[in-house]
Structure 1
Amino acid sequence: MGETDDSMKSKRIVFVTVGTTCFDALVRAVDTPQVKREFFRKGYTHLLIQMGRGTYIPTKSSGEDGCVAVDYFPFSPSIADNLKSASLVISHAGSGSIFETLKLGKPLIVVVNEDLMDNHQSELAEELAERKHLSCAHPQTLLHTITGMSLEALVPYHPGDARPVAKLINQFLGFPDD
């Protein structure tokens, strides 16, 4: 293995995604020196921010200042590779981002966007946090959540099996069993 392979092995990435929305409060929250130092203290080396339609531009950093290296981008056709390479994901409360991350078995902090009207997303995030599948935060509590997080306490998410319910519905409707 060359030097590049060794450095890739020790790379621990925090991936932040806001989806297609504008969630500047989350981007601002992860762009503070305190949060970046806390990531570094916990052994993370890189912070990659997908900032969506936001107008707040995070501060890029090479990581040589006792903090994590920081980079960002607005959109990508797919964030699947970013999620796969992440050691920790911090996401908006969109169900697609939540379940895609949980399916990969990645530790997840969901940050609720309080600016959204009819914020049903917070109900999903809070329910999954109560079941210990993820941590839930708000932009103003993110540093506290990161400082106190215990990844070992998270419970893996296993999607339910809908086949028994489908079978009952089919029986009720008079369709033959497969």
Structure 2
Amino acid sequence: MGDAGDVKAERIVFVTVGTTSFDSLVRVVDTAEVKHELFNKGYTHLLIQMGRGSYIPTKSSGEDGCLAVDYFTFSSSIADNLRSASLVISHAGSGSIFETLKLGKPLIVVVNEDLMDNHQSELAEELAERKHLFCAHPQTLLHTINGMSLETIIPYHPGEARPVAKLINRFLGFPDD
């Protein structure tokens, strides 16, 4: 039996595609190169929420000196997965983005270029520019993981909407409350 100091702390990478099909993201996180880079950065587990996708990732117990990998399609809530994650890799849905940022988790948002409306990429790119998260595309994810420095992330603090609402009400002629 090994000594307790030999046990590596669990560091989970949680990947979520929401309710969509985003096989290109699931496929890229399942590559040996991405899994190897995550393992080299100290992560021990990869948990993939694959949504409606048809690509099935390769499960691994992690006993062979690499990441333990598991997956599922849907869950009534991913809140527990987000809370237990050391790193989140997410599609660019605003709900997933802001839920992760609210928890203060490091986040890589991967833009789905197959979607018709690109408003999600605008949100992800703006938040990346403000250094709240990292933004990638499926073909650049490995490079993003390789170059990411979590120390550069600036915590996201949601703004206060009340002053804006008061200004709009005043402009529209409504009384202040």
TM-score range relative to shorter protein: over 0.9
What does the per-residue CA deviation read over 1:14-58, in whole Å, with 9 as the maximum and x for residues that have no partner? 000000000000000000111111111111110000000000000
TM-score (norm 2): 0.93
- Determine the C-alpha separation between the residues in 1 that align with 2:62 and 2:72: 17
- Determine the C-alpha separation between the residues in 2 that align with 1:168 and 1:120: 26
Partner in structure 2 of residue 71 of structure 1: 70
Q: Where does the alignment leave 5 or more consecutive residues of structure 1 unmatched?
A: none
Partner in structure 2 of residue 84 of structure 1: 83
Partner in structure 2 of residue 151 of structure 1: 150
Q: Specify the SS of the correspondent of 1:90.
A: strand
Report which stretch shifted further, 128-137 or 167-176.
Answer: 167-176
Which one-letter code corresponds to 2:20 in the other structure? T
The Cα RMSD (Å) is 1.7
Partner in structure 2 of residue 125 of structure 1: 124
What does the per-residue CA deviation read over 1:99-124, in whole Å, with 9 as the maximum and x for residues that have no partner? 11001100000000011112211111
Pair 1:109-2:124 in alignment: no
Partner in structure 2 of residue 161 of structure 1: 160
Q: State the 1:173 CA deviation.
A: 4.0
Which one-letter code corresponds to 2:115 in the other structure? L
- Determine the C-alpha separation between the residues in 2 that align with 1:133 and 1:174: 36
Q: Specify the SS of the correspondent of 2:83.
A: helix
Which one-letter code corresponds to 2:62 in the other structure? G
Report which stretch shifted further, 104-113 or 161-170.
Answer: 161-170
Which one-letter code corresponds to 2:170 in the other structure? Q
Q: Specify the SS of the correspondent of 2:15.
A: strand
Equivalences for residues 129-140 of structure 1 within 5 A: 129-140=128-139
- Determine the C-alpha separation between the residues in 1 that align with 2:169 and 2:123: 28
Partner in structure 2 of residue 34 of structure 1: 33
Q: Specify the SS of the correspondent of 1:25.
A: helix
> Percent sequence identity over matched residues?
86
Number of aligned pairs?
Answer: 173
TM-score (norm 1): 0.92
Which one-letter code corresponds to 1:155 in the other structure? I
Q: Where does the alignment leave 5 or more consecutive residues of structure 2 unmatched?
A: none
